[in-house]
A and B are shown apart, each in its own frame.
Chain A
Amino acid sequence: MKRRFSKNSPALRVKSVILRPVMLRRLLLISAPVGLLLASCQKETQVEKANREGILLVGNSAEPKALDHQLVTGVIESKIITSLFEGLVSDDASQDGAAPPGAATSWTHNDAMTEWVFHLQPEGKWSDGAPVTAHDFVFSYHRLLHPDFAGPYAEMLYFIEGAEDFNKGKVTDFSQVGVTAVDDFTLRVKLREPVPYLPALTRHYTWFPVPRHVVLQHGKMTDRFTKWSTREHLVGNGAFKIKEWRFHDFIEVTRNPYHWDAANVGLNGIRFFPIENPYTETRAFLSGQLHTTYQLPSDLIRSVKEKDAHYLRQEPYVGTTFIRLNTTRPALSDSRVRQALSLTLDREQICEHIMEGFFPTASLTPKMGDYVPEPKLSFHPEKARALLAEAGFPNGDGFPVFSLMIARPAARAGAEAVQAMWKKHLNIRVNIQNRDWGSYMSAQQSLNFDMASAGWIGDYLDPTTFLNMWTAGNGNNNTGWSDPRYEALLREAALKADPTERFALFRQAESLLMDAQPILPISHYTRNYLLRSEVKGWHPLLLDNHPWNTIHLKR
């Protein structure tokens, strides 16, 4: 009896266990780290700490493929690259059309707009203190265009006289290419055609310089990559220089003291987080870990509007979503069929219910500056049914079953809406096929698909960034469609220096494209993202290229 009472009664045992000094010590041992952990927790959020330090915390979606801007083609790379490098002309903080000086202080052109002279900043320096000269620019364009270097986005320089031939190996003498250093601080660029928007073009990173002395120190000009673009050796001419680079973790840049405008740079540094998962990014922002996000998933927009509306930014962005058609397929080769497909897309419904914040489009090119395309797209089911019957498929009878390819699960809802609309209005069936990115891209490039849900983001503010790709043999066309009349209009426009005449010809070309409809535009992009109020000097911009040097944090 006695024994059971003293040992086995649970209440007594628990008490005696806790009171034993050994156990007390153990308990302390366990609770100490937990206590420490809780004590070290979040006295101030990471954003508050960053505000104090003047460091901007930016969600940037994905790990950059490289920081050598002559090796990349993407948008996320451009965010980091524009902090590390600077083009001839800079971005304005609030005006899309403005062209503030960058590496060049001023520029002039001839009347035909085919020859431009850029005068470089005499104070322009690389982040190691060496001067930025016109020779650096010539070297950079030579490197990007050199066939052995094989820069993936060399075609952005094809505007330069002789550049395309040099890049394709037809000419081997670079002196035939229209770019020369008149002296250390004067760069002359001869173009193959009038390019009134050249200043806007030079804001794209393909036109940025690379430091000749550093590239050559680590290898030959044509070496695809050497150690020069690693964290240890990277030298740029931007307002910031690289400090830390950990894959899939973050990239941190810090002030470049040698930058010509360093005194007016508002931030001490920027940390770019490659957060792939947009929901994670949103959570991080709402927990005080980021100043701004790269994106906001459209299914979260509503809840953010309710609870955190002051963070929400919804801004137009030069991009268009569309369905790409393979016009070499039977039925789809008939432009009446393609028009019928387009006329039964209720774009307003799609934008209102699925692509939150996106705008229904009436053409391919978004409005940019003075260029306004002719509104061609509408919702007209009766007309569509008549066209389909005319093409030999009355009431959808005998119409082949096509598959609509998507590459991201997020695109499924939109694809299903399109599927339902075609079923309802045309009585035709379409299957949705989810593919991984690689096979999605290669299927399009080899024309081994029926329909694909796709999108295009402009690289600069001129309609050519949307219109030039629909020509025969262009690697981004992938519709099997081409029309000599369309290409003739584009060529004619390219020879005009007068913006009004140019735009009139582009309008004609775009109308022709929208009548032929190898693609079915659906909506214009909206950038949905979150931004904290202490970020100052951040304004809506069509290309979303915020000049980092003009941004500051309210402390």
Chain B
Amino acid sequence: MFSTVVQRFLQGIFVLFVLFTVTFFLIKALPGGPFKSAEKAIPQHIREKIEAYYGLDQPVRVQYLRQVKNIVQGDPGLSLRLEGREVTEIISQAFPVSVRLGLAAMVIAICIGIPLGVIAAWKKNTLMDYSAMAVAMIGICIPAFVIGPLLADQFGRRMNLLPAMGWDPTSPTSWVLPAVTLGLATAAYLSRLTRAGMLEILSQDYIRTAKAKGVGSFRMLVRHSLRGGIIPAVAFIGPAFASIISGSVVIESIFAMPGLGLHFIKAIEVGDAPVILGIVMLYGTLIITANFLTDLLGLWLNPRLRGS
């Protein structure tokens, strides 16, 4: 067990290193550059000074080594887009927003998706199953940029019940619409995975035995089937959480949330290397950690895996 953990940790470090290197050279391959894409052209003699200030006039090899050093020290440096602001400051402001939004969305996804999947499996091939799966299919098919504005328009403008945009850390009402929008697609996937997992378990012999012994339906579903039935869903939750946090840029745009996604996209638009690298490394770490934790959780849920 311990050696597995160490092995996975070293693998993770290697993956991060490759991720960093590939990202760095991809940014360098982008056309334009942070000071060549201003709305009004910056005169060349000034642009050269600015680029020299940031060390962008040096050979790419030197820039690469400096960035590696910065990242290892945990400080990616200064943003080139929001001039003078430290990447750590940007991330420390935006990341908590993304995490809170992601957590809220995940809770919503789990609370909707898993019960829906269980019900669908339990009432297999009935109207209930079909309607639950139809809802899930709709959830998967309709993108967030359609659902988000519809929800915002309905609850914000028409009913004036919830804010149509913005982020207020002190008032949960401002999280509701973005979290629901973000969570719905994940809920849909979760319900389908749960249904499939549950169906497999429900067809097993020991369930038939339990039924024969007269175990009640609720007890049978929750005590005897759920733990096995949600294994596929749990395997999905880890990576899904990471992708919810890193992929919420559409939601952030629709609801004007000050999360990481918007910084990421904006930084890519102008080739703001320190911000891109800072966020990529954060996302990378997050996804690797989430996968690792998911594997551990899988081991706990599924004793059959422990031997191997």
Q: Would you list which residues of chain A between 213 and 234 have a CB under 8 Å from chain B?
A: 224-226, 229-230
Q: Tell me if A63 and B82 are in contact (CB < 8 A).
A: yes
Write out, one digit per residue, whether chain A residues 6-37 have a CB within 8 A of any chain B CB (1) or not (0).
01100000000000000000000000000001
Q: Taking A37-B176, A73-B39 as contacts, is the C-beta distance between A247 and B82 under 8 angstroms?
A: yes
Q: Tell me if B83 and A71 are in contact (CB < 8 A).
A: yes
Which of B93, B152, B173 is in CB contact (< 8 Å) with A247?
B93
Q: Tell me if B41 and A41 are in contact (CB < 8 A).
A: no
Q: Tell me if B36 and A445 are in contact (CB < 8 A).
A: yes
Any A CB within 8 A of the CB of B195: no
Any A CB within 8 A of the CB of B241: no
Any A CB within 8 A of the CB of B69: no
Given A75-B39, A276-B262, 9 more contacts at CB 8 Å?
A45-B160, A66-B84, A152-B42, A247-B90, A277-B256, A280-B152, A283-B149, A437-B32, A438-B36
Any A CB within 8 A of the CB of B192: no
Overall SS of chain A's interface: loop
Q: A residues touching B (Cβ–Cβ < 8 Å)?
A: 7-8, 37-38, 40-42, 45-46, 63, 65-66, 68, 71, 73-75, 147-148, 150-155, 167-169, 224-226, 229-230, 246-249, 273-277, 279-281, 283-284, 286-289, 436-443, 445, 475-476, 478
Alpha-carbon distance A136/B163, docked complex (angstroms): 44
- List A contacts of B46 (CB < 8 A): 147, 150-152, 154, 167
Which of A248, A274, A443 is in CB contact (< 8 Å) with B31?
A443
Q: Tell me if B160 and A42 are in contact (CB < 8 A).
A: yes
Any A CB within 8 A of the CB of B167: yes
Q: Taking A65-B82, A247-B93 as contacts, is the C-beta distance between A441 and B38 under 8 angstroms?
A: yes
Q: State the Cβ distance, A69 to closest chain B Cβ, in Å.
A: 12
30 contacts between A and B (CB under 8 A): A37-B173, A37-B176, A41-B161, A41-B162, A65-B83, A73-B38, A152-B50, A225-B83, A225-B84, A248-B263, A249-B167, A249-B258, A273-B166, A273-B256, A283-B149, A283-B152, A283-B164, A287-B152, A287-B160, A287-B163, A287-B164, A289-B166, A437-B32, A437-B269, A438-B32, A438-B269, A439-B30, A441-B41, A475-B44, A476-B41
A476, closest chain B residue (CB): B41
Alpha-carbon distance A30/B289, docked complex (angstroms): 32
B78, closest chain A residue (CB): A225
Which of A151, A226, A276, A442 is in CB contact (< 8 Å) with B37?
A442
Q: Taking A40-B171, A247-B263, A248-B263 as contacts, is the C-beta distance between A152 and B38 under 8 angstroms?
A: yes
Q: Would you list which residues of chain B between 137 and 190 have a CB under 8 Å from chain A?
A: 149, 152-153, 156-157, 160-167, 171-173, 176
Q: Tell me if A289 and B164 are in contact (CB < 8 A).
A: yes
Q: Tell me if A65 and B81 are in contact (CB < 8 A).
A: yes
Q: State the Cβ distance, A263 to closest chain B Cβ, in Å.
A: 33
Q: Tell me if B82 and A148 are in contact (CB < 8 A).
A: no
Q: Tell me if A42 and B162 are in contact (CB < 8 A).
A: yes
Q: Tell me if B216 and A7 are in contact (CB < 8 A).
A: yes
Q: Taking A41-B173, A279-B149, A475-B44 as contacts, is the C-beta distance between A284 and B256 under 8 angstroms?
A: yes
Q: Tell me if B40 and A153 are in contact (CB < 8 A).
A: yes
- List A contacts of B33 (CB < 8 A): 438, 442
Q: State the Cβ distance, A76 to closest chain B Cβ, in Å.
A: 10
- List A contacts of B37 (CB < 8 A): 437-438, 440-442
- List A contacts of B266 (CB < 8 A): 63
Alpha-carbon distance A543/B173, docked complex (angstroms): 38
- List B contacts of A440 (CB < 8 A): 37
Q: Tell me if A438 and B31 are in contact (CB < 8 A).
A: yes
- List A contacts of B45 (CB < 8 A): 147, 167-169
A276, closest chain B residue (CB): B253
B44, closest chain A residue (CB): A475
Alpha-carbon distance A126/B83, docked complex (angstroms): 24
Any A CB within 8 A of the CB of B231: no
Q: Tell me if A155 and B32 are in contact (CB < 8 A).
A: no
Alpha-carbon distance A274/B262, docked complex (angstroms): 11
Q: Tell me if A150 and B149 are in contact (CB < 8 A).
A: no
Q: State the Cβ distance, A275 to closest chain B Cβ, in Å.
A: 5
- List A contacts of B173 (CB < 8 A): 37, 40-42
Q: Tell me if A283 and B269 are in contact (CB < 8 A).
A: no
Which of B41, B81, B94, B165 is in CB contact (< 8 Å) with A275?
B165
B83, closest chain A residue (CB): A66
Any A CB within 8 A of the CB of B24: no
A46, closest chain B residue (CB): B163
Write out, one digit per residue, whether chain B residues 241-266 have a CB within 8 A of any chain A CB (1) or not (0).
00000000000111111110011001
Q: 3 tightest A-B contacts by CB?
A: A438-B32, A225-B84, A475-B41
Q: Tell me if B42 and A248 are in contact (CB < 8 A).
A: no
Alpha-carbon distance A151/B49, docked complex (angstroms): 9
Any A CB within 8 A of the CB of B43: yes
Alpha-carbon distance A148/B42, docked complex (angstroms): 15
Write out, one digit per residue, whether chain B residues 80-109 have a CB within 8 A of any chain A CB (1) or not (0).
011111000010011000000000000000
A477, closest chain B residue (CB): B41
- List A contacts of B121 (CB < 8 A): none
Q: Tell me if A439 and B31 are in contact (CB < 8 A).
A: yes
Q: Would you list which residues of chain B between 24 and 64 have a CB under 8 Å from chain A?
A: 30-33, 35-47, 49-50, 53
- List B contacts of A40 (CB < 8 A): 171, 173
Any A CB within 8 A of the CB of B271: yes
Q: Taking A7-B216, A37-B172, A442-B33 as contacts, is the C-beta distance between A283 and B153 under 8 angstroms?
A: yes
Q: State the Cβ distance, A524 to closest chain B Cβ, in Å.
A: 18
Q: Taking A155-B43, A229-B84, A438-B37 as contacts, is the C-beta distance between A280 and B31 under 8 angstroms?
A: no
Any A CB within 8 A of the CB of B118: no
- List A contacts of B162 (CB < 8 A): 41-42
Q: Would you list which residues of chain B between 235 and 294 have a CB under 8 Å from chain A?
A: 252-259, 262-263, 266, 269-271
Q: Tell me if A438 and B270 are in contact (CB < 8 A).
A: yes
B49, closest chain A residue (CB): A150
A147, closest chain B residue (CB): B49
B260, closest chain A residue (CB): A248
Q: Tell me if B157 and A287 are in contact (CB < 8 A).
A: yes
- List B contacts of A63 (CB < 8 A): 82, 266
- List A contacts of B94 (CB < 8 A): 247-248
Q: State the Cβ distance, B86 to closest chain A Cβ, in Å.
A: 10
- List B contacts of A229 (CB < 8 A): 84
Q: Tell me if A284 and B164 are in contact (CB < 8 A).
A: yes
Q: Tell me if A283 and B82 are in contact (CB < 8 A).
A: no
B161, closest chain A residue (CB): A41
Alpha-carbon distance A486/B82, docked complex (angstroms): 38
Q: Taking A148-B49, A152-B42 as contacts, is the C-beta distance between A280 and B253 under 8 angstroms?
A: yes
A435, closest chain B residue (CB): B31
Alpha-carbon distance A58/B230, docked complex (angstroms): 48
Q: State the Cβ distance, A25 to closest chain B Cβ, in Å.
A: 18
B32, closest chain A residue (CB): A438
- List B contacts of A476 (CB < 8 A): 40-41
Alpha-carbon distance A71/B81, docked complex (angstroms): 11
A64, closest chain B residue (CB): B82
Alpha-carbon distance A42/B87, docked complex (angstroms): 35
Q: Tell me if A283 and B165 are in contact (CB < 8 A).
A: yes
Q: Tell me if A74 and B39 are in contact (CB < 8 A).
A: yes
Which of B40, B85, B161, B176 is in CB contact (< 8 Å) with A73?
B40
Alpha-carbon distance A283/B152, docked complex (angstroms): 8
Q: State the Cβ distance, A278 to closest chain B Cβ, in Å.
A: 11
- List A contacts of B39 (CB < 8 A): 73-75
B42, closest chain A residue (CB): A152
Q: Tell me if B256 and A475 are in contact (CB < 8 A).
A: no
Alpha-carbon distance A246/B173, docked complex (angstroms): 19
Alpha-carbon distance A148/B37, docked complex (angstroms): 21
